[in-house]
Amino acid sequence: MMTVEDWAEIRRLNRVEGMAIKAIVRRLGVSRNSVRRALARDAPPKYVRAAKGSLVDEVEPVIRGLLVTCPTMPATVIAQRIGWTHSLTVLKDRVRALRPYYLPPDPASRTSYEPGHRLQCDLWFPPVDVPLGAGQVGSPPVLVMVAGYSRMMFATMLPSRQAADLIAGHWRLLLEMDAVARELVWDNESAVGSWRAGKPKLTEDFEAFRGVLGVGVHQCRPRDPEAKGLVERANGYLETSFLPGRTFTGPDDFNAQLADWLPVANARQHRALGCRPADRWTADRESMLTLPPVAPALGWRTRVRLPRDHYVRLGSNDYSVDPVAVGRFVEVVADLERVTVRLGTKTVAEHARCWARWQTITDPAHKTAALAMSTAAAHRPPAPPTDEVEQRDLAAYDAAFGLTDVA
């Protein structure tokens, strides 16, 4: 077969030097027919192997018939139906090539974003062990938000995926943005909402939160990750570019390292944008809505009567309270960092939020006060009776009913 070099040289000799076919034959030592073919060919020669028959060719009509009735039939089931005894790989390759001809078309449209229009949100569970305290490690959720127009990423690790922590995480990131998009995009996260009877339904907590913000929430259909592809790709980028080579001493250290890394990530050249996300952020934020003047109700809030053991439970952890509030109603308020217990306007407990599970957090001052009160109660003399009850002679009743003995 003629090489590309011979083909190119024959054409050069003929067109540039004007050599005839016979002269080219003498110069290069090739046949006349080879020279004629080279001059007649506008594209370089390419070796094409002759197609060989395949074992699947004989059963292809049967495969096509099965795909007509069920386009999604797995190749393994097709192999059983046709009694295939050869390599399953060649059969799968043929089924993979034939299946698109029988499936209905399912194109994906490209979504364009206007400045300030959408924020895509998701929870990312980093595949790394983060120390949580009390000898426990875990992988708490990371709330990730990506602005549609600028592709700016914002993220923070949360103690849990429950509504109170999720909404508090939203507010923390929105304060960092100093604005909020007109619509938040979420999948069917249980604390956000779900699809019921073919319709999206937000939870009561998230409905109240978006009402305070005055924005909309777009709930993606189940099993439709393409609807929020921006944040899904951001999750993958965090996993491949932020995590490698890093170790963490706790959630606070994770968030501190993440906060240092995000400005670098947002200043990288974005292939789809042709610029850096930070270059678009000003236009994106200026088109967003301003945050409400009053912050929404955030975190955990509950009102309980303090039991004798003077502890309140938040999540799975117990936090001590000043025993002066035993038997009275107290308000428990917790955000992402602190747990506070109030008796009216008085603060009777304040603890750092514990990320570990099933822990008892005790303030030494509360323990000392409880022991002092218990000791004082044990040595306190019984109170004297306040009312004296008259002890009447029973003979008076006998006389009243005429039951006295007659002498």
104-109 LR contacts (CB < 8 Å, sep 24+): 104/71, 108/226
With 70 as the cut, is the pLDDT of residue 398 above it?
yes
pLDDT at 179: 96
Classified as helix, coil or strand, 263 is helix
Q: How far apart are CA 141 and CA 255, in angstroms?
A: 12
Residues 6+ apart with CB under 8 A from 188: 194, 195, 219, 220, 222
Classified as helix, coil or strand, 365 is helix
Higher pLDDT, residue 338 or 379:
338
pLDDT (tens digit per residue) in 304-324: 999 999 999 998 999 999 999
With 90 as the cut, is the pLDDT of residue 290 above it?
yes
Q: How far apart are CA 119 and CA 141, in angstroms?
A: 18
Q: Which CATH class is domain 118-286?
A: alpha beta
Q: How far apart are CA 352 and CA 49, in angstroms?
A: 72
Q: How far apart are CA 147 and CA 290, in angstroms?
A: 15
pLDDT at 359: 96
Q: How far apart are CA 311 and CA 363, in angstroms?
A: 10
pLDDT (tens digit per residue) in 111-142: 678 999 999 999 999 999 999 999 999 999 99
**Could you tell me the CA-to-CA distances from 404 to 391, 392, 393, 394 in Å, in that order?**
20, 16, 13, 11
Higher pLDDT, residue 59 or 112:
59
Nearest-5° Cα angle at 189, 186 to 195? 80
pLDDT at 7: 87
pLDDT at 407: 47
With 80 as the cut, is the pLDDT of residue 370 above it?
yes
Paired tokens of 94: 């043929």
Q: Where are the domains of the chain?
A: 4-40, 55-101, 118-286, 300-379
pLDDT (tens digit per residue) in 186-213: 998 999 999 888 899 999 999 999 999 9
**Average pLDDT over all residues of the chain:** 90
Rg (CA), the chain: 39
Phi first, then psi: give them for residue 5, nearest 5 degrees: -60, -45
pLDDT at 375: 85
Q: How far apart are CA 244 and CA 127, in angstroms?
A: 10
pLDDT at 389: 64
